[in-house]
A and B are shown apart, each in its own frame.
Chain A
């Protein structure tokens, strides 16, 4: 079976740094992706980690440790517009599909 775990909610203030963790147990693993979804909106792709280590894209960074079955999304210099739900997603090998985590709701306070 496939299992992903994320914290259900995280709260932080504007300008702060927040880390959203994701642990996974899947039958096979190809990579870890992150998606952002505002209320009522479509999920939008943020980042992908196929190898261990840190990937940086502007204010967002994503990290993967295959040996620990663990990854995180790091958001720096938080802005009010970052308030949204964030989903990690495991892509399975051999062309199989993504499995999405339950999502973490981030609230950014002024």
Chain B
């Protein structure tokens, strides 16, 4: 099966600019996650979607970050305006809602964002 697709692979922007990331999950995976991974740390959940509804966005900095998952398939994550501390890898993951523990999440390769 095809994996989780993300684009772009790398992005460099200046602070206060905006940026958007795209994710296409594995076909049939109802649950989609966006994680932020700062260098040397574990992934931190930003937002979880179940189909096109938000399940958990408690750790999303809503003053600058937004995400949507129209039609319950693809998703975009936006940062506006970006800050230096947003430099990180943004990982998208998907899972079958019914067995996420046993089968785990499938992660995409991520987008490496550098804010200068």
Contacts and interface: CB of A to CB of B under 8 A. Distances in A.
B8 to A, nearest CB: 15
B110 A98 contact: no
A100 interface: yes
A43 B43 contact: yes
A58 interface: no
Interface residues of B, number: 23
Given A42-B109, A97-B33, A33 B104 contact: yes
Contacts, number: 52
A41 B107 CA distance: 9
A37 B108 CA distance: 12
Contacts of A30: 101
B20 interface: no
A41 B102 CA distance: 22
Given A45-B105, A45-B106, A100 B44 contact: yes
21 contacts: A4-B42, A30-B101, A33-B101, A33-B104, A35-B104, A41-B109, A43-B43, A43-B91, A45-B104, A46-B104, A48-B101, A48-B104, A87-B42, A87-B43, A95-B55, A97-B33, A97-B45, A97-B48, A101-B42, A102-B41, A103-B40
A-B residue pairs, 7 tightest by C-beta: A45-B104, A100-B42, A42-B107, A43-B107, A42-B109, A100-B43, A97-B45
